[in-house]
Structure formats: structure tokens, C-alpha cells
Amino acid sequence: MKKWQFWVGMLIGAIFIYWTFNGLDWKGALDAALHANYWWVIPGVLAYMAGVWFRAWRWHYLLKPVKPISTNQMFPIVTIGYMGNNIFPARAGEVLRAWLLKHKHDIPISASLATIVVERIFDGITMLAFVVFNLNELARLQGDSGYLGSIQQVALYGTLAFGGALLIFILAAMFPQVARRIYHPLIEKLLPKNFGIKVLGIADQFMDGLASLRSPLNVLMVLISSLAVWLAETLKYWFVMLGFNFSVSFFALMLMNGVANLATTIPGPPGNAGTFDAPGIAVLVAYGVPKEIATSYTLVLHIALWIVPTLLGAFFFLREGLSWDKVQEMQKEVE
């Protein structure tokens, strides 16, 4: 609560929430929500949780060179991470699951965080692929489309950023001795001796976490599992849409998924309140969906995305004997 990053995230979330509800016909939005068929949320949630399982499988695959851990053992830790991101500030869920891996499976936090960074890079590349795949459609939709007017430029720069980061990590993983010969002298020259020794240890453990990228087959498998994760999530969008009075193509929902989740990479409040909703609504409005229906649908979608993994993560969190005090201790330990 005392960190400035938290308050910046809350401010950004407030701005996006304002954009979400500015000019909204509240009566029409409430009417759309009241007349929705919520039975379709059930298969949507099942599809989404399948995506969470694919995340656990992907993380198991990324960690295999460090220490083999079964997907069934990874799944509770992944859901605890979801819960942490949804209710704690500053995406504490990411370091929470790295901390849990250390205390349950004796994997260094730096190595775990390396695999989590790789996950995020593959997520970013997959979301950008969803956007790039629909760029022709996006160009047709542009005009009075709010955020979407500059999304082509964002997609270009994002592809360069995520692709460049992945290339650097792959090269570092393939040539670890060369990488160490580069960063060791830099750290030794730039940092005080005692602090530099600690940073070198963390950097070497981080390099160990990149080991899965040494094999082209491993990279391909991680990419395939990333596609499975995001296609499962898009399937959830499609199921929930069936309960509302509008219809767009699956590809339109892929575009919505890509744009909305790229926006959540912006620092924001817990649960991505606002940063997920406003861009997603803008995509649907650009497809001709009335704003009140698009808003009701997106909010229901967001709540369903939030509540199930949060409750399941809370169950596993309590089962591990964790508490908010433990989370604060964990953050201090990681820092």
C-alpha cells in the first residue's frame, strides 16, 4: 500500500474504468445483463480452466531442465498465482508461485522467475499473433473506434519487443558461457563487491531457468501450449457470448482477447479492473455491438474470469497454510 507503483496502477485503472462507463446507457446495460442466459458461463468456465491446466503443463515443461515436477503438482501453484494477481497489488501472484516452488520443491526463486518471464514473453507473442492475424479485419473496422486506431502500430512495436526479448533469451540459453562472459564483468564493474556477488548468484540461477530454451523442440512445445492456453480462453469468450443478444465471429473474439490482454500488461489495479474491460468493449463496439450489450457481456466475462480461479486459488492457498502475513514475508524475502 505504501509503494508508489500500487497507486500508479490504481490511477491507471481508474482512468480505464472511466473510459469503460463514460456515456454508457446504464438502463440498457442492466437490461442486457438481466436477459442474459448464464448457463453458457458454465462451459465457458470449464474451457477457461482447461486453459489454466495448459498453463500448468507449460510451466512443468519450462521447469523440466531445472527439476521435473508433474503438471498435477503445478496446477495448485498456478491457481494460487492467479488468485494472488487477482487480489494482491503489483501482480504478487507471480512471485508468490516462485516462492512456493522454492519452499515446496527447492527450486531457486531466480530460476522460477526466469521461467515466468519466458511464459509472459510467449503469452505476449501469442496475443500479438491473434492481433496480427486479424489486422486486415482491424483495418476495416477502424474509424471512430477509440483505442483501435493505433493498434496496428502497437502490434508492430510489441512484436519487435517480445520477439527481441525471446531471441535474446534463446541466445543466452544456447550459449550460456558466452552470456556469462558478458554479464559477469559488467556486474563486477558496476556494482559494489558484496552486492555484486549476490546479483551474480541471482543472474546465474536466472540463466538456469532458461535451460528449456536450448532445444528447438522445447521452444515449439512451449509455443504450442501457449496457443492452447489462449485458444481455450477465446473459447470461453465464445461460450459466454452465446448467452447474450449479439454474435460475432470466433476470429473477432480472438482479436478482442488479444487487444484486451495486451492492455493488461500496462501496470494496473488487482484483477486488471478497467484495463481489461475498456479495450475489450471497444473491439466489440467496432464490430457494431451496442455499447450497453458489449459492456454487460465484457463485465460478466471478466467476473467469470476472476471469480473461479480466485476461489480455487484461495482454497489451495489456505490448504498450504498461507496468509496475508506470509505473503508480505514472501515479498520481503524475494526483494
**How much is the pTM?**
0.83
Find the radius of gyration of the CA atoms of the chain.
21
Residue 14 lies in a domain: no
Indicate the burial class of 239 (C-beta count within 10 angstroms; 0-12, 13-18, 19 or more).
Answer: buried
Residue 2 lies in a domain: no
Residue 10 lies in a domain: no
Q: Which amino acid would we find at residue 186?
A: L
Is residue 104 within 8 Å of 81, Cβ to Cβ?
no
Q: Does the structure show a pLDDT above 70 at 282?
A: yes
Is residue 158 within 8 Å of 189, Cβ to Cβ?
no
What mean pLDDT is predicted for residues 243-270? 84
pLDDT tens track for 89-143: 656 778 888 888 888 888 888 888 888 888 888 888 888 888 777 767 666 665 4
Residue 8 lies in a domain: no
- CA 249 to chain centroid: 23
Residue 270 lies in a domain: yes
Range of the domain at 182: 43-334
pLDDT tens track for 36-57: 999 999 999 999 999 999 999 9
pLDDT band at 328 (very low <50, low <70, confident <90, very high): low
Three cell numbers at 153? Answer: 502500430
Residue 27 lies in a domain: no
Give the single-character DSSP code of 142. Answer: -
Is the four-CA dihedral 325, 327, 328, 329 of positive or negative sign? positive
Q: Report d(CA 260, CA 277) in Å as an integer.
A: 7
Residue 25 lies in a domain: no
Q: Which amino acid would we find at residue 129?
A: A
Q: Does the structure show a pLDDT above 90 at 299?
A: yes
- The two most distant CA atoms of the chain are separated, in Å, by 66
Percent over 70 (pLDDT), the chain: 86
Say what the pLDDT of residue 228 is.
94
Least confident of 11-20, 138-147, 161-170, 257-266: 138-147
Closest CA to 190 of 178, 201, 179, 199: 199
The packing angle between helices 151-174 and 176-190, to 10°, is 100
Closest CA to 142 of 287, 280, 20: 287
Q: Does the structure show a pLDDT above 60 at 146?
A: no
The C-alpha cell 480505464 sits at 16
Q: Does the structure show a pLDDT above 50 at 249?
A: yes
First to last CA, the chain: 16
Residue 237 lies in a domain: yes
Q: Report d(CA 134, CA 138) in Å as an integer.
A: 6
Say what the pLDDT of residue 1 is.
47
Domain count, the chain: 1
Run of H or E including 252: helix 250-263
pLDDT band at 330 (very low <50, low <70, confident <90, very high): low
